[in-house]
Structure 1
């Protein structure tokens, strides 16, 4: 029965109360969430600056939260519950989203490293102070939080979108705590009835302990392997670029292999279809187009030169492929989502939230908070960049962020992929139409406005995953909202500090941190604002753009057909083109491992174990990047 499902028994006092009433916002859970989130944040900076890839680490954050309190269980004054676990995980994700949501691995480095003074209104080269970094980040930190609250009822309660990662995290938390487990097969269906659950029988609690220790052991072992590689790679740098195809190909065409466990883990997370598209892009870009451009004299510089070399030349092809794929896929998905929403709006089956009003954020509070956060965003951006960025462009950016966030959240709920890269490119194209090309700061305005738009979509989508987890576990939405506010505020400070720390210790851009996402941002801004292209690249960019636009349309329309997975993703192909092959090869190995594992072990627990394995590999190198950072700052020599 519904009431039975919502109530928990306090065995100590015999009292019955709603799960939402259990302790969630506690000092211990705040400290744990901030600590775990800080680990995820460092990891995201490491890989975001290297390749542009970040992950919110929902599952490992939940597992780390549980493991922390499991270790301390004999010293706890009261039990660590599943709903408190959701609070810890939600806070950690809010912290970890900072590097991408605040543009610190994309827009900000593009402005600081690549923007010319004549593209910024004739001002001097822009270098943001620590206060300006925090102002910029603070301006972007909160409207995604409030907007996610407003979207929750429509997206999660009424439409019951799947959010596969959020659902899987809910199942992991429930299993670890031996509480009610949502039926994964049921919640994974669009037409699922959210009220259908089953009670997990615990005939032998030792089985649950085995499950827990199995996951923790896998996380620690994979973490250790990756951490060990990171330490070795610092002292023996050749481990980051093994010339497995010969020294000539390595030296002249950058064909090397980086046996990084972290990138293998990323490939496991991405899956074989995505990494296969990336490998196709790597072969197309680095084995065909770049050598051809160099041989014909169109890219005479060194291969790794972003301006005159092959990497800079094929970047424009990559950009055309990604923009074409993103625009077409976005239009098709948007049309399908709006049509689905229209069909559902005609029904009279109003869904019930089954959460007491005192555990919900009122629409009045959410609307007032959203309005205040939008004003804060405009004001903070204006303070950072001054009058060179017009007010109308900033207001247009935040309004566009709201509309694109809706579509981005729906895409994430249906596909488990947040199309923020596509949203960013679409916003850049739209702002090229809003801001005159002859404006002296048109490139800077395009970057800033695009960054604001992308931030809203990124944050709203990632936080909605957590709200899905909380909904399935029956955590308090208000407690999750508090967790997201605390995590976002902490991320503003920590993200700014870590970004500036990386910038001072390492050469950025350099051989280790090439910041490819920043190059994509600045070149896309220059393209849409009318700057010329390298020699002969325009014909290739147009041709490949048309090809992948057609492929994207076919894949989006016939997504339920088995052969749709065989069509390469334009975004993944583009990533394979602009990243050097060393990263892609390691990711492809991970994708092969993922496919083998999924075909051999089809049960849900094995699927979770694979995610834990990959997350440990990623977190190991991400956390040990702190070691590399300290060693580099102290000028400890390599072997």
Structure 2
């Protein structure tokens, strides 16, 4: 039997990796080193998400890169660690990172907030004045939106993760990656392990200090109370990766092992190289702005209809992550919008202004078609998935009811797939936290806008609606890898068009706030549920993951607010680089549902394309599991992806399409074993440009001249 020192220092498969699944929650997870690493990685992801969210509305959870980066950090520090780095600690770190990094979407900083600040008219604010948030106001806003989705997600875990065992493809893929990095197993069949006792030789790998991890329900609730003083789609504002169809990179459970030194070193070298290339391009693009806008189709098409290429490594990396089908749909939308509809609207004088003008130009005109297509696709998909999910719930209830009558219950199996109660978040914590966080949300919004402009009853309805829609969103995410936060936000806006009278002085503002609450709840609940699926497969403590979410959320409240202010201080937003298209979608949708007119013929085209893509979405969702027609469905475009292609300028879409082609060729040549290398490659491209955007921001603020 090894000594404690040997057990802590050894780096092979004979120690903590052999601990039974039920006992792994006791392994150290909530550690200072894990918290620091999670916040650092999450901060990098947050900065990246701000950069791309303000540009195109693309926001990502980045759970796979976060898991990879945390492993890489501790792999290189392994010889100096006082105790071993484990897979469940890896889970804890990526949970913090995801909670931190998705702040720009969850708190509406790439969507609702700029819509209120930059596009809301004086007559729409309810006060006759423009709304401008101070940094303190942003802290308060974010705090109000930050917590109720987390507390509401906790009780859903047992139903959708434990009992129904929904796949959550991205969460499962992250668990697979963590398992192969740490040379452990993903426990898809959790009925095998029935050990109830921990061999004493594992004791020093577990928490020896009671204060480290054994936070009681009451003490944790106290901590949460003390931290309270608050999107794009998918979504994750405008569409995030969670709003597009599931990427092939994330669907497979056949990610090959990369734990041997050769493979690990190759992947680390790839990550470093692509990060360097991406960061170098980012800084170079500041000094040589021309490389951000290459007129590959000629100067006329570039000036007249914005057809150019931005050879951004990050957008190429995003295209790799999205996969060829999704970026192909986006390219189809790009051609439809910028080569067909925009020239048509301009030629017929329906949009006579400058091409890139949101109000009078063709970009503003085709935005309505984009919005119609995305909403039709999201709503139809949402309804179909919801009906199918509810039907499955009914079937399971009926089966359970019949089983209870016959006496052959399966409750014992459910107990075997659940961890001990001490590692779960208590009911008392959930109830108190949900009530307090809901009250906090109401109080903050009343403080910011006043109860006469945003009535309390509207906020109560918004929270209740957000909780209900979060259930449906989590189920959709679990079954399809799609968290339709964009559609959820738009559905909330449609509902509040009926709740709030059109003559209410702040009808548009109320509509935006209600949508922000719905989107925040669905985003937070979905993020946590993906992480809980990852942790469940690896045996992590759900309580530890909940705490990770809280830690990341609190940090993200402050960092997200500060970064939003910094971007607006350094840049004049919107501009040619940061077009904030999601903010335009939010404000236009609010105006649409509250009765403002559309540009000439925009309504007719929007209805027509909405109906077309609504039917396509219906067919794709109904027959997605039908083997006879499933392979043909790929030729039917996704409305969300097409919508993104319509409202984003061609330069972004072309770069992403190049990434999708690279992914397709790579996978054809290398096969399934190349999936991990692809994740590493694309992660370096995205993170390099995202992080070094801070360098460009600094150069801009200092007034460094361009060449």
TM-score normalised according to structure 1 size: 0.93
Residue 77 of structure 1 is matched in structure 2 by 82
Shift in CA distance, 493/206, structure 1 to aligned 2, threshold 3 Å: closer
SS of equivalent to 1:104: coil
Q: Deviations over 1:32-52 (max 9, x none)?
A: 111000000000000000000
Equivalent residue for 2:431, pick from 358, 363, 367? 367
Residue 562 of structure 2 is matched in structure 1 by 497
Residue 383 of structure 1 is matched in structure 2 by 447
Shift of 1:595: 2.1
SS of equivalent to 1:18: helix
Name which of structure 1's ranges 508-517 and 605-614 shifts more when overlaid on structure 2.
605-614
Equivalent residue for 1:63, pick from 68, 78, 92? 68
Equivalent residue for 1:395, pick from 456, 460, 474? 460
Equivalent residue for 2:704, pick from 619, 636, 639? 636
Name which of structure 1's ranges 493-502 and 79-88 shifts more when overlaid on structure 2.
79-88
Q: What runs of 5+ residues in structure 2 fail to find an aligned partner?
A: 1-11, 194-256, 401-409
Residue 293 of structure 1 is matched in structure 2 by 345
Shift of 1:180: 2.6
Shift of 1:364: 2.3
CA distance in 1 between counterparts of 2:640 and 2:423 reads 40
Q: Deviations over 1:449-474 (max 9, x none)?
A: 00010001011111111111111111
Please give the residue correspondences for 1:311-350 in structure 2 after superposition, counting only pairs within 5 Å. 311-348=363-400, 349-350=410-411
The answer (yes or no) to whether the contact 2:87–2:182 under 8 Å persists in 1 is: yes
Shift of 1:597: 2.5
Residue 414 of structure 1 is matched in structure 2 by 479
Shift of 1:232: 1.1
- Is 1:121 the counterpart of 2:121 in the alignment? no
- Is 1:267 the counterpart of 2:319 in the alignment? yes
CA distance in 1 between counterparts of 2:14 and 2:624 reads 47
SS of equivalent to 1:125: coil
Shift of 1:9: 9.9
Residue 612 of structure 2 is matched in structure 1 by 547
Residue 89 of structure 1 is matched in structure 2 by 94
Shift of 1:75: 1.9
SS of equivalent to 1:368: helix
Shift in CA distance, 595/195, structure 1 to aligned 2, threshold 3 Å: farther
Residue 234 of structure 1 is matched in structure 2 by 286
CA distance in 2 between counterparts of 1:525 and 1:265 reads 33
Residue 167 of structure 1 is matched in structure 2 by 172
The answer (yes or no) to whether the contact 1:63–1:216 under 8 Å persists in 2 is: no
Residue 632 of structure 2 is matched in structure 1 by 563
Aligned residues: 614
Please give the residue correspondences for 1:107-146 in structure 2 after superposition, counting only pairs within 5 Å. 107-146=112-151
Shift of 1:18: 2.2
Shift of 1:179: 2.2
Supply the RMSD in Å over aligned alpha carbons. Answer: 1.9
Residue 682 of structure 2 is matched in structure 1 by 614
- Is 1:451 the counterpart of 2:456 in the alignment? no
Residue 99 of structure 1 is matched in structure 2 by 104
Shift of 1:556: 1.1
CA distance in 2 between counterparts of 1:307 and 1:235 reads 31
Q: Deviations over 1:223-270 (max 9, x none)?
A: 111111111111111111100101111011100111111111111111
CA distance in 2 between counterparts of 1:419 and 1:601 reads 32
CA distance in 2 between counterparts of 1:209 and 1:469 reads 25
Shift in CA distance, 620/196, structure 1 to aligned 2, threshold 3 Å: farther
SS of equivalent to 1:347: helix
Name which of structure 1's ranges 458-467 and 108-117 shifts more when overlaid on structure 2.
458-467
Shift of 1:311: 0.3
Shift in CA distance, 463/630, structure 1 to aligned 2, threshold 3 Å: same
The answer (yes or no) to whether the contact 2:181–2:259 under 8 Å persists in 1 is: no
Q: Deviations over 1:532-584 (max 9, x none)?
A: 00112111111111111111111111112111121111111111111000000
The answer (yes or no) to whether the contact 1:160–1:194 under 8 Å persists in 2 is: no
The answer (yes or no) to whether the contact 1:9–1:15 under 8 Å persists in 2 is: no
The answer (yes or no) to whether the contact 1:324–1:549 under 8 Å persists in 2 is: yes
Shift of 1:74: 2.1
CA distance in 2 between counterparts of 1:340 and 1:15 reads 35
Shift of 1:434: 0.9
TM-score normalised according to structure 2 size: 0.84
Shift in CA distance, 34/207, structure 1 to aligned 2, threshold 3 Å: closer
Residue 595 of structure 1 is matched in structure 2 by 664
Shift of 1:606: 1.7
The answer (yes or no) to whether the contact 1:130–1:497 under 8 Å persists in 2 is: yes
Shift of 1:207: 6.2
The answer (yes or no) to whether the contact 1:267–1:589 under 8 Å persists in 2 is: yes
The answer (yes or no) to whether the contact 2:291–2:310 under 8 Å persists in 1 is: yes
